Amino acid sequence: MTPELEDELVNSKAITKLIDDLRVNTDYEPTPRASLTMAYAALNLEHQSAICVLIEQHHRGSAFALLRSQVEACYRGLWVQRLATDVQVEAIWKRDAEPFPRSFKLMAEAIDADLATEDLFQGIVNSSWKTLNSFTHSGLEQLSQRFNSSGDLTPNYSDAKTERLLRGSASVALLMHIPLFRIWRMERKAEVLEAWLIEKMNDPAPQKR
């Protein structure tokens, strides 16, 4: 594991802890909608934490497979909180229905329009959704990482790709919780996450050790 990947693991764990600490004593009215959203948010954060654990335990294939589920929890949670009707919320709770838009692209478009985030959520779908599905559903993106350059069957997930996985996972956690804190009028908590994000974006690249 390269020093850069180790640094990325530290950063990802720090984001998980920061968000988890901010979620403590979150004062929200426990309506079916809000409770369902909080469940999606908790799942999002748990997936991010699990990705770190899997990487540390040398199960990178499973870590890559989990990112799609984290993205899905993010999008569904935001859609339920902001765009689902009361009937749709009830259908999810009581009948395990999936009254979501017929594609994630449409869901992303709806979220971007509602949150005024231009094409932020659409951009993730357009650039990464096919790859995420391939990793989760044992497609070529996943299978091709199971062989080394000599063709031997052995995991071959590069540290550089794994760094990008960790950054993507951390971003998905932030993308969900920053707007949720604002929706629930917890502006200070949203600002804390944004300040952390800006600080990390402005940090110089870590020096090789």
Q: Where are the domains of the chain?
A: 3-202
> What's the pLDDT at 203?
57
| pLDDT tier, 200 (very low <50, low <70, confident <90, very high otherwise) | low
Burial class (CB in 10 A: 0-12, 13-18, 19+), 32: middle
Q: Count CB-CB contacts under 10 A for residue 18.
A: 17
> What's the pLDDT at 206?
39
Q: What are 16-71's pLDDT values in tens digits?
A: 999 999 987 777 778 899 999 999 999 999 999 999 999 999 999 999 999 999 99
Q: What are 86-142's pLDDT values in tens digits?
A: 999 999 998 889 999 999 999 999 999 999 999 999 999 999 999 999 999 999 999
The sign one gets for the Cα dihedral 66, 67, 73, 79 is negative
CA proximity to 135, closest of 151, 116, 157, 150: 157
Tokens describing residue 151: 């063709």
Indicate the length of the chain as a whole number.
209
